[in-house]
Amino acid sequence: MRTLLASFFVAALTLSFAPAAPEQENPLSVAQVVALDECDPATFNAALGPDFCRNVTLGAFTTLSDLFAKAAAGTPDPGWDFEPDTVDIKKGTTLAVVDQGGEPHTFTEVSQFGGGFIPKLNAPGEDVVPECAVGFSNVAVAKTRILQGSQILIPGLSKGEHLFQCCIHPWMRMKVEVK
């Protein structure tokens, strides 16, 4: 039974890695990006609901109130981060963004970096960027969500510079240069 299950699993994996559309120039090339955070499960889940924060940082915790206080002071918590900060890729490379933090993020392309849709997490005086406006009730924003432990794939980026940020924690920013 175990062998049968194992071969079924391998078959499923093989299917999920089936060749991509032929118009892609380099469909096998993938660049990894990770989203990180250090949410404190006790305070986050008390405010935001059970299982909102599933922390995997083995003791490196920031409480919800500290997260807001640091953002309001203009010194947002560096534990909330996309890595790397910049990446150079060839056209045809797919970005694979995986959330290795404990809470949800978005990986949203913006024309200019700016604030997210939770005003109290924005830097003092920073307005929400148009691409993040309204928050998850905007389908375009909701589609860029990454849940804890999951990943989104972004294929087919055009040549040039692309800016991505989190619409919740807007200091999470990265630049992608497509050559």
Least distance to Cu ion, CB of residue 105, Å: 3
Cis peptide before 22 (omega within 30 of 0): no
Least distance to Cu ion, CB of residue 142, Å: 14
Least distance to Cu ion, CB of residue 166, Å: 3
Q: Which of 53, 121, 154, 166 binds Cu ion (CB under 5 A)?
A: 166
162 binds Cu ion (CB under 5 A): no
Distance between CA atoms of 116 and 50, rounded to whole angstroms? 24
CA 160 to chain centre: 21
Tell me whether strands 173-178 and 145-146 are parallel, antiparallel or unpaired. unpaired
Least distance to Cu ion, CB of residue 83, Å: 13
- Kindly state the DSSP code that residue 41 receives in the 8-state scheme: H
Q: Residues 62, 40: contact at Cβ < 8 Å?
A: yes
Q: Which of 87, 154, 169, 170 binds Cu ion (CB under 5 A)?
A: 169
| Radius of gyration of the chain from its Cα atoms, rounded to whole angstroms | 18
> Given the complex with Cu ion, which of 89 and 172 has the nearer CB atom?
172
What residue has token string 């999920």?
16
> Given the complex with Cu ion, which of 37 and 89 has the nearer CB atom?
37
> Given the complex with Cu ion, which of 55 and 93 has the nearer CB atom?
55
Least distance to Cu ion, CB of residue 93, Å: 23
Helix (H) / strand (E) containing 15: helix 2-16
Q: Give the binding-site size for Cu ion (rule: CB under 5 A).
A: 5
Q: Looking at the DSSP assignment, which residues form a beta bridge with residue 97? A: 33, 152
From residue 103 to residue 142, what is the string marking binding to Cu ion with x (rule CB under 5 A)?
A: --x-------------------------------------
Distance between CA atoms of 63 and 43, rounded to whole angstroms? 6
Give the interface with Cu ion as residue ranges (CB under 5 A).
Answer: 105, 166, 168-169, 172
